[in-house]
A and B are shown apart, each in its own frame.
Chain A
Amino acid sequence: MKKAFTLSVIGLAMMAVVLTGCSNTPSEEELKQLDDLKAQVASLEKEIAAKSAEKDALLKAIGEQDAQLALCLKDKAAVQAKLGAK
């Protein structure tokens, strides 16, 4: 009985040593790596949002330019016709 107890204690002790010694948590360096990746994601998302806003503004400006150009071409054609009719 005493021997069995001793063996159990030794077994538990070995398990405790193995579990605490070979820890399953990431190291400080690995955690920093994770944080860096998170920061990179946030930074990229912010940059993409800014570029997308710039793209939307540019699309709007191009739309206005298209309208102005269409109007100018229409005016030009009308003026040419009027001058031709004179």
Chain B
Amino acid sequence: MTNVFRLSVIALLLGALLVPAFAQQEMTKEEWQKQITELTAKVTDLKAKFDAVNKDLADLKKQAEDKAAALKQCQDELSGLLGENEPLLQSQLDKIDGRLNELSRLSNQDLYARKAELDEVQAWIDEAKKNPASAMGKHAARLDEQQAKLDALKKALQAYVDSGQAMQTYTVGTWAKDRDCLWNIAKKPKIYDNPFLWPKIWQNNRDQIKNPDVIKQGQKLKIPPKADLTKEEKSAVRKYWNNKQAAAAPAQ
């Protein structure tokens, strides 16, 4: 019994020793102190970082304000130099874009019929290039783009003309008012600007012109693209003059 009592006392005492020892496994005072030291150092470090970022921010805000002021000054000076030129150019460029878009949608035949408008657009572009605002990067780029678009249209039109498919028409007016004969029609600046090319009109309208000296009001003549007379056309014109001479000979 005495032994049992002794063992119980020892067990209780050992328990009293071990319980606090296990309890300490959560965190010891040394660990706490270590964490406190580490965290305090971290807080100090973070506060320094925070101050540095704040200072950087203040510097950057100042920089941004200075740059905004410099930009505004530059824009004001530019506006002062340009005056009303920039809005004017803007509307010119819009007009050119509108017409180019319209012409780009046309078939080759329709484009050929409106070929004069290509020259008109070219004149608009040349005029726009004289505007001082056209020196600005964005406007210069837009003008370059428009010129490229117009050049492409001109190239397409030229290819169409070269292919021989282009054929405009001319409606014959009266002799009294328009003085229309093949010679005079060929002489017109919008036709060939060269009267000696009249056989070209004749040969391309043989279906409705039997005698080149006689054309009737209202006839719709096909006008082939301007070019030198072909061998056949030259031959036809020689024949025409020979016939004329032959017809005139008996009278002599």
Which one, A48, A61, A66, A69, contacts B46 given CB within 8 A? A48
- How many angstroms between the C-alpha atoms of A54 and B58 in the bound complex? 11
- How many angstroms between the C-alpha atoms of A25 and B19 in the bound complex? 13
Determine if B194 is an interface residue (Cβ-Cβ < 8 Å).
no
Q: If the complex has contacts A52-B53, A55-B60, A82-B132, are A72 and B78 also in contact, measured as CB distance less than 8 A?
A: yes
Contact (Cβ within 8 A) B36 A34: yes
Determine if B226 is an interface residue (Cβ-Cβ < 8 Å).
no
Determine if B246 is an interface residue (Cβ-Cβ < 8 Å).
no
Instruction: Give 5 closest A-B pairs by Cβ, nearest first.
Output: A16-B16, A78-B135, A44-B46, A37-B39, A12-B13
Binding site for A on B (CB under 8 A): 6, 9-10, 13-14, 16-17, 19-21, 23-24, 26-30, 32, 35-36, 39-40, 42-43, 46-47, 49-50, 53-54, 56-57, 60-61, 63-64, 67-68, 70-71, 74-75, 77-78, 81-82, 132-137, 140
Q: How far is the CB of A63 from chain B (nearest CB, A)?
A: 10
Contact (Cβ within 8 A) B81 A24: no
Contact (Cβ within 8 A) B27 A26: yes
Contact (Cβ within 8 A) A55 B50: no
Which residues of A from 43 to 78 have beta carbons under 8 Å from B?
44-45, 47-48, 51-52, 54-55, 58-59, 61-62, 65-66, 68-69, 71-76, 78
Residues of B within 8 A of A59 (CB): 60
- How many angstroms between the C-alpha atoms of A46 and B132 in the bound complex? 53
Q: If the complex has contacts A44-B50, A81-B135, A82-B135, are A34 and B61 also in contact, measured as CB distance less than 8 A?
A: no
